[in-house]
Structure 1
């Protein structure tokens, strides 16, 4: 009896699985699909949702080459086949062929975009396949002619003697096939500071916000609207970056703001997490140090959530919801600075206008520039970092908001002494403001362990101001 094993092939992602057959006088038994054992050996955890079986009465039946837009796990329940697979995806391996004879001891994992075909070598062969999406009427996908001379599949039984459907006889040759494009990336909330930065690291991504944009690939998608969510083609995406959020911390304490914050920061991420599980895309969601009460320093990824105000509570709820998605990253960040209005730009403007502000000096953390947050996102995806929560900010020594303001004033030609430090308690006195965490410093060791080294926050600040 052979050991369970997984073998690679010349087609990227196409894997051959050797299945042990437990035989005795009665016949045999096999574990045709065993998630824990097979994924441990490198098989993707592809999440099958449908099991189909094709019974082939006679030797010579030939089916394919079909390129359905989902992953398959094919095997033989009884009998024997000659299997052929052709890479139909965009890229250097387009047209690459792999073949193997398969009996019940052989299974093959077929990734999306690889054409699948087989020829029956024994009467009464039963062919089984698991897929991770449901077949639906009207679905179109690339197909390849079984007799294509470029690929030149070496069929054991001549096609002239085989039994082939009229549909399979009429499929196009390779030169006429449009390769299958990879699944796309979607940026939700592309008009915000972070959404704008993400577009540089994810060029060509589809862009959506609550209202339509001016560019051709900008559309509107309100993730809190069930009708819009139901109509969106989620199967087209491999990656969704959720940069949308309600960030008006003080307004979230009002009745209207409270409802909006819960819908945007908790309800929408919960919807995206459900869709990520259903449609097998990776979900990246951006969170905040506000999910903590600021009494621990530094904050680690596994620290229990302890949000203070309404905004903080909605962000914590969003973190919990996104963690239910099978393939997710929660990037928890602090003091975000990017394009548009933000604390640094406000201090820069005050410096230019001759104003001498009072700034809190007991709220301590690190700036996170959106370019750095986007770079970290790209890095985690490119290196295949384990799914989960990661703290992300710029590096360097922690600073207070007053420290940052003083640095901005100095870089703008003003004296650091023109900024007056004040405690949060004194600054908030008599004002109707939401509570803030005092300690926002995050432990970056988990992020660094993936090979990412955050840029020093003060270095990034100097460049940010120099760039205007």
Structure 2
């Protein structure tokens, strides 16, 4: 079988598929749904879960405009229809119309919020729906009258002579329709620095903190209802790197970063949603990556417990059909961070000893949130993406020196090795977790989606100005 071809329409996200049909004296054969080929051609990987079929007896059967709360792929298994679609989603394309004859060689992908109608042109039409959510009696539909003057669909069989249900004849005109709003994104870990940035950058996002959903509670995760949401963005994590080397900290890190994430991934898969999850440079040992930094497909090789728990969470997320795994490093937000600590020391006139043999790039939470919004909104391919700020990699000591210079501190930073820093710690201090010596992540893949990471030096300067 040949590959399908995808054509765009004036309705955003409404796609026409030209299918290859094999014909011989016995009849014809087609691949009505072929995930690998269709996704490669440009169809969203919409993960269908239900197939429904409608038989229509006479020509002129007309089924009215219904905007359903799921995506669907429509086609005919027998006969021909005139299909019509009207965008009922909130936004500038509200009311945009597309019409298309459907026969055995044509299918149409209909995104959530676009109303679908059709009229049969032949007898005994078999109409197929492949949808990515299970039908339920309480599902909310948005309807439009088949005779709406604004949509002005030219039905081959006039509606007064067509076979139409009384309910479809009674639907409202376009001026009376309430546009379908976008489903919000659910942000977990919303009380943290990254969570707060995500809520700011994702329009209409709903945030939940640990008190509302604790990833360490398997029963709470299993009972999570995701039906109101388009995607789940998980910013919840146990990031106590050094504490993870203790007995209690090890349990906590694995409960949240591994077991909890696996439970969340299972809930997202069962309910057919998209998961955005954040990973760490700590899943690498810092000895590889080359000059360009670690690529997304570099082998996992964590050094410490924290990195091991994050790597386990990554593996759980990576098997989801619809996921974005954002791997990042050296995160800085509004609140406690390395940059905040250095700024406080500079203000107090304290000269710190800072490690100079660990190299990477800063990632500001606003940059991570901006990349998340871009991936969710651009239709970028699912998978793993490295996301940090751009710029020449530097050491922790180099970052500290920039902070001290920007704040006009009268004292300087003392550069030390990781070994020297560890030896100078108090005897009763918790164990120091191993860190990757080189945390540089390649940004080529995220750039290829049209996202341009901001320079870390410029972002640091803006961050420090806001602190003043």
Does structure 1 retain, via aligned residues, the 8 Å contact 2:69–2:139? no
Structure 2 residue corresponding to 1:235, chosen from 213, 217, 227: 227
* 1:257 paired residue number: 249
* 2:384 paired residue number: 389
Q: Spell out the pairing of 1:96-115 with structure 2 (5 A cutoff).
A: 96-115=96-115
Partner secondary structure for residue 227 of structure 2: helix
Structure 2 residue corresponding to 1:283, chosen from 268, 275, 286: 275
* 2:439 paired residue number: 440
User: Deviation at 1:408?
Assistant: 2.6
Q: Spell out the pairing of 1:311-326 with structure 2 (5 A cutoff).
A: 311-326=306-321
Partner secondary structure for residue 312 of structure 1: helix
Structure 1, unpaired ranges of 5+: 212-219
* 2:420 paired residue number: 426
TM-score when normalising by structure 2: 0.88
Distance 1:114 1:87 in 2: 4
Structure 2 residue corresponding to 1:334, chosen from 325, 329, 333: 329
Partner secondary structure for residue 315 of structure 1: helix
* 2:58 paired residue number: 58
Q: Residues 177, 287 of structure 1: CA spacing in aligned structure 2 closer, same or farther, 3 A cutoff?
A: same
User: Deviation at 1:383?
Assistant: 4.8
Q: Spell out the pairing of 1:393-404 with structure 2 (5 A cutoff).
A: 393-404=388-399
Structure 2, unpaired ranges of 5+: none
TM-score when normalising by structure 1: 0.88
Distance 2:353 2:281 in 1: 23
Distance 1:58 1:455 in 2: 61
User: Deviation at 1:83?
Assistant: 2.3
Distance 1:203 1:122 in 2: 45
1:173 aligns to 2:173 (yes or no) = yes
User: Deviation at 1:416?
Assistant: 4.8
Does structure 2 retain, via aligned residues, the 8 Å contact 1:184–1:205? yes
Distance 1:372 1:434 in 2: 27
Q: Residues 433, 100 of structure 1: CA spacing in aligned structure 2 closer, same or farther, 3 A cutoff?
A: closer
* 1:356 paired residue number: 351
Deviates more, 1:129-138 or 1:94-103: 94-103
Does structure 1 retain, via aligned residues, the 8 Å contact 2:19–2:32? yes
1:49 aligns to 2:43 (yes or no) = no
Q: Residues 283, 147 of structure 1: CA spacing in aligned structure 2 closer, same or farther, 3 A cutoff?
A: same
Instruction: Kindly report the root-mean-square deviation, in angstroms, between the aligned alpha carbons of the 2 structures.
Output: 2.7
Question: What is the aligned length?
Answer: 459
Does structure 2 retain, via aligned residues, the 8 Å contact 1:410–1:416? no
Partner secondary structure for residue 404 of structure 1: helix
Distance 1:362 1:21 in 2: 62
* 1:309 paired residue number: 304
Q: Residues 424, 39 of structure 1: CA spacing in aligned structure 2 closer, same or farther, 3 A cutoff?
A: closer
Q: Residues 290, 60 of structure 1: CA spacing in aligned structure 2 closer, same or farther, 3 A cutoff?
A: same
Runs (4 or more) in structure 1 with deviation over 6 Å come to: none
Distance 1:108 1:445 in 2: 33
Distance 2:184 2:4 in 1: 34
Distance 2:297 2:22 in 1: 44
Per-residue CA deviation, residues 357-388 of structure 1 (Å, 9 max, x unaligned), is 33223222222222233333344445544433
Does structure 2 retain, via aligned residues, the 8 Å contact 1:186–1:240? yes
